[in-house]
Amino acid sequence: GYEKMPRSLKGLESAGEWPLLKKLLPELKDKRILDLGCGFGWHCRYARKEQAHSVVGIDISEKMLQRARELTDDPHIAYRKIPMEDIHFAADSFDVVFSSLAFHYVRAFKAICIKVHDCLTSGGKFVFSVEHPVFTARAEQDWWYDEHGNRLHWPIDHYQHEGIRHTPFLTEDVIKYHRTLATYINTLVDAGFMIKTVEETFATEEMIQKNPAMFDENRRPMFLLIRAEKMM
Amino acid sequence: GYEKMPRSLKGLESAGEWPLLKKLLPELKDKRILDLGCGFGWHCRYARKEQAHSVVGIDISEKMLQRARELTDDPHIAYRKIPMEDIHFAADSFDVVFSSLAFHYVRAFKAICIKVHDCLTSGGKFVFSVEHPVFTARAEQDWWYDEHGNRLHWPIDHYQHEGIRHTPFLTEDVIKYHRTLATYINTLVDAGFMIKTVEETFATEEMIQKNPAMFDENRRPMFLLIRAEKMM
């Protein structure tokens, strides 16, 4: 299962998109951080290592939160079990709201944007990654192969049909929600955010040299990263 | 060739994306408009019909400009033959800069953004459409078919490889420039624009009822539309 994947065992350095995501984060020193879908808490601990003032990590998996709690005795990290669309924090509670690869599991992206906007301070940053709409469009979420098993290209279909995708993940079926790129951007803008940076994951020469299979990451974007800012 | 296509003969109402693009335009009354890649001048004449103060249409095709000039005697529309990346207008020359399906023919998108920013008034709008990065990624720009000629899906490849694509258009080869979505957005932001709306073309139920083949327009996005604003 998920807990056996490199990113779960070895943390951030094993997540290919982390260098790109890290660059989108503001200076975290003395900042109040909210992590939506914190999982095992890797990013929460990273934030504290960067001298964040305090971190709240939200997840719905008790199992993951339990593991996250075992991995730290830091009194300035608080883990809470709650669906991220049900968060309710006072205005001006956080300077940075962060989320890594969680929103494509949630139907209520609009509600999340509104709630994040509510609890962020003015000028606060909202930085997140999701599976790219190009990646989530087809439920299969896989390459198109020739008869020898070679990857011919990445197929897209049903792009404008937003909603549930029953996708294979490891050995199980997982429910994900496909949204268009326009929906990601416009929902943020409508909630009162300014779009500061959009990134689509790719492989650097260095990554390809370490692992030639990474070349395929330049053939289609797997993750979408967005840095937005609550307008003053 | 191009001049025989419905959108060339019948104008805006024959361009499927026009209703979506029109919605992104601000009120044009009394505004000074610049149209980059104006072609036969359909949008220039539309702007004047909406009581724009004045319109400048830019194109590099003398043939298209000649036809555009024949189609109007409006003294408040000026057509100029110049590559759009070479425009040079004084600051505060325009209230709205518009472009329809032209930037994917031009290498210098960054230069265009900077120049548009320079000549727009503060708070001015920059509204444009381009072929979607999902559409321009592969030079073939075509569906993937089964042996019976059915459209199986839209293939993506080479997404992160920005630059020239030699693409078939009608009977000729045309040079287009593929850029990622991240590049479109970030180049605008870097030039000093605020992203206001992003749209990806789709077919409405009404469009599909008129022409069932339009259904495929919901399978992958063909055009990308962006409304940006020069920050005050």
pLDDT of residue B14: 66
- Phi–psi pair at B197, nearest 5 degrees: -150, 140
- The mean per-residue pLDDT over the stretch B37-62 comes to 97
pLDDT of residue A232: 83
pLDDT in tens, B30-42: 999 999 999 999 9
Among A29-33, B1-5, B172-176, the range of highest mean pLDDT? A29-33
- The mean per-residue pLDDT over the stretch B120-125 comes to 98
- The mean per-residue pLDDT over the stretch A178-183 comes to 98
With a cut of 60, say whether residue A214 has pLDDT above it: yes
**B170 near A CB under 8 A:** no
- Would you list the DSSP string of chain B? -GGGSHHHHTGGGG-TTHHHHHHHS---TT-EEEEET-TT-HHHHHHHHTT-SEEEEEES-HHHHHHHHHT---TTEEEEE--GGG----TT-EEEEEEES-GGG-S-HHHHHHHHHHHEEEEEEEEEEEE-HHHHSSTT---EE-TTS-EEEEEE--TT--EEEEEEETTEEEEEEE--HHHHHHHHHHTTEEEEEEEE----HHHHHH-GGGGGGGTS--EEEEEEEE--
Report the chain B residue with the minimal C-alpha distance to residue A200.
B182
Task: Tell the CATH topology of A15-137+180-230.
Answer: Rossmann fold (3.40.50)
Give the confidence band of B48 by pLDDT, cuts at 50, 70, 90.
very high
Give the minimum alpha-carbon distance from A140 to chain B in angstroms, rounded to a whole number: 12
pLDDT of residue B170: 77
pLDDT in tens, A118-171: 999 999 999 999 999 999 999 999 999 999 999 999 999 999 999 999 998 777
* List of chain B residues whose C-beta atoms are within 8 Å of the C-beta of residue A137: 220
Which is nearest to A94 in space by CA: A61, A68, A63, A58?
A58
pLDDT in tens, A60-100: 999 999 999 999 999 999 999 999 999 999 999 999 999 99
Contact B158 A219 (CB under 8 A): yes
Q: Note whether B178 and B207 are within 8 A (CB).
A: no
**B231 near A CB under 8 A:** no
Task: Tell the CATH topology of B2-133+181-230.
Answer: Rossmann fold (3.40.50)
**CB-nearest partner of B194 from A194, A202, A220:** A194
Considering only residues 134 to 153 of chain B, which have any Cβ-Cβ distance to chain A shorter than 8 Å? 134, 137-138, 144, 152-153
Comparison of pLDDT for A119 and B170, the residue scoring more:
A119
Contact A153 B152 (CB under 8 A): no
Give the minimum alpha-carbon distance from A83 to chain B in angstroms, rounded to a whole number: 29
pLDDT of residue A171: 77
Give the confidence band of A177 by pLDDT, cuts at 50, 70, 90.
very high
pLDDT of residue A1: 56
Q: Note whether A100 and A118 are within 8 A (CB).
A: no
**CB-nearest partner of A182 from B137, B160, B199:** B199
Give the confidence band of B220 by pLDDT, cuts at 50, 70, 90.
very high
